[in-house]
Structure 1
Amino acid sequence: MVDTYVSNESMVVLVFISAKGCFGNAEPLRIVQKYDKDGKRTISVIRRSDPVPEKSEIPHEIRMDRPLGVRLSLGFTAACNKQPAKDEKSICLVDGELFPRIRC
């Protein structure tokens, strides 16, 4: 069923992936890339982005500045909770330039 919708070239695809790993290994992105190889109609929301450690590669993945990283024309955004856990920093707070419109 997913393939039916994603293969329709007039659709914009919204993909939710976890911040807990390499974006290139995310199953939803792999499915979408079969039909949208250039990422021209795909936007991705990064979930579970609040507990990302400061030295994580996630900011580089989101900025798409890694040579072999996933590229999406519509880019990435993050779903943030209002308050990160006491001993964690939100990805929004780690690199405020990534998501200037998001208030955590």
Structure 2
Amino acid sequence: MVGNLVGIVPPTLFAFVQFQTKTAPAIVFLGLAAIQLAISNVVYPMLQGRSLALSPLAIIVALSFWSWVWGIAGAVLAVPLTAAIVITCDGFQSTQWFARLLSEPRRRE
């Protein structure tokens, strides 16, 4: 959310100062907002889903657990923490069952 604002607001303000009209900053704002929303809601989740291969149930449980433990910060860090746990557990023979429990089988494309 903050990254999207940092990527949209300064260029919009610059367009307002540069052109001193209302249409140019509106076009810049709408264009950058569309690009940011497409990348944040389509591209990143698609790439993360392919690379992390976490099951949806594991993500929901992780969000619930880490939100309960750390509040909003836990909700933000839930997926990276769970991915780190899966990667760590996958590295040891005795905990590979837990990594398989949290992850989905990877699809070969």
Scaled by the length of structure 1, the TM-score of the pair is: 0.25
- Rg larger for: 2
Higher relative contact order (CA 8 A, sep 6+): 1
More helix by share: 2
